[in-house]
Amino acid sequence: MASGLTCGTIVPVIPDFHTHTHFSFDSQALPEEVCRAAVARGMPEVALTDHMDLNPLDGGYGYFRPEAHWQGLQDCRAQLDGRVRVHIGLECGEPHLFREGLSGILAAHEYDVVLGSIHWVGHRPVETAEFFDGLDFQEGIELYLEELACLAEEGDYDILAHPDIIRRAVFHRFGRTDLDWTPYEAPMRRVLRVVAGRGKALEVNTSYRRRGMGPPGPSIQVLRWFREEGGRWVTLGSDAHRPEDVGADFGEALDMVRAAGFEGVAVFRQRRPYRVPI
Ligand SMILES: [Zn+2]
Ligand SMILES: [Zn+2]
């Protein structure tokens, strides 16, 4: 584990396990640039987790080319050999709904990590104000948590990515940068219990900060619930779509993970978690 000395304290450099390259429909970044950004931040490893969307509603539907992606990232891995360990991952939207398609893609190559994400609940996009059309605040949050529970239980994933992504819709609809999960403790704990029981990881996603939507998430409270439910694995992800965002706000995210009582974060190799002390 690479580390730097700051005022006598060893500060671990945590690998970014959620980044995008031009193999994602919404990124122009060259894989090599993303990896060089990780090297510049002192990361010993980084995961490239491009969108793989099988949901016809999604903007990324039909864009992902598994063979070109695999070969491109193998080339990138070879280029960066010795400087940073490059993990080849995928971010799959609604993996519980597209199990067959996903398993076909996963069978072809030895991926290191799969992020499971909710981007849609039925026809509702979780990242925009329209999510709440015809729903009040509570109905919307409960509907989101029901879908998240289905993903947690039935999806093939290693990391439950941005588990509080509904904050984006909350921000756009209600202008709020906070979301108090206390009224939804029971359904949120149900999700966390499943993730913990299946030995999967929960992601702390830092992209909210860059979007002016508040701190990384989920909150310390949710991370504590995850630990209480038996959760062992937490990862950090910037959700960078540009090289300059790799590892953004990881100091704040790391403080949150520590405050929740975790003494390590997870990295994945060939879909198996390994602990990095913090
Ligand atoms: Zn996502
Ligand atoms: Zn992403």
Residue 5 CA, ligand 2 centroid: distance in Å: 31
Output the CA 8–ligand 2 centroid distance in Å: 35
Query: Would the pLDDT of 91 be above 70?
Result: yes
How far does the centroid of ligand 1 lie from the alpha carbon of residue 46, in Å? 17
Of 25, 27, 4, 5, which Cα lies nearest the Cα of 207? 27
Residues having C-beta closer than 5 Å to ion ligand 2: 91, 239
How large is the average pLDDT for residues 197-202?
98
**Rounded Cα distance, 123 and 118, in Å:** 12
How much is the pLDDT for 12?
A: 82
- Is pLDDT above 90 for 5? no
How is the chain split into domains, by residue range? 14-277
pTM of the model: 0.96
CA of 7 to the centre of ligand 1 (A): 36
pLDDT of residue 8: 59
C-alpha distances (whole Å) from 66 to each of 49, 53, 57, 170, 268 are 12, 11, 20, 34, 20
What Å distances lie between residue 84 and 35, 37, 40, 45, CA to CA?
7, 10, 10, 5
In the structure, what pLDDT confidence band is assigned to residue 44 with cuts at 50, 70 and 90? very high
Encode 195-223: b = buried (16+ Cβ within 10 Å), e = exposed.
Answer: bbeeebbbbbbbbbbeeebbbbbbbbebb
pLDDT surpasses 60 at 3: no
Ligand 1 centroid distance, CA of 137 (Å): 22
Rounded mean pLDDT, 216-233: 98
The ligand placed nearest to the CA atom of residue 168 is: 1
**Across residues 61-67, what is the average pLDDT?**
97
Cα–Cα distance for residue pair 146/59, rounded to 1 Å: 23
Q: Maximum Cα–Cα distance for the chain, whole Å?
A: 55
CATH of 14-277, one of 3.40.50.300, 3.20.20.140, 3.30.1360.120, 3.30.1280.10: 3.20.20.140
* Section 165-175 average pLDDT: 98
Q: Which ligand is nearest to the CA of 18?
A: 2
Q: State in Å: Cα 91 to ligand 1 middle.
A: 7
Residues whose beta carbons lie less than 5 angstroms from ion ligand 1: 117
When pLDDT is averaged across residues 272-276 and rounded to a whole number, the result is 97
Span 266-278, average pLDDT: 97
Q: Which ligand is nearest to the CA of 90?
A: 2
CA atoms within 13 A on the CB side of 193: 6
What was the pLDDT predicted at 19?
A: 98
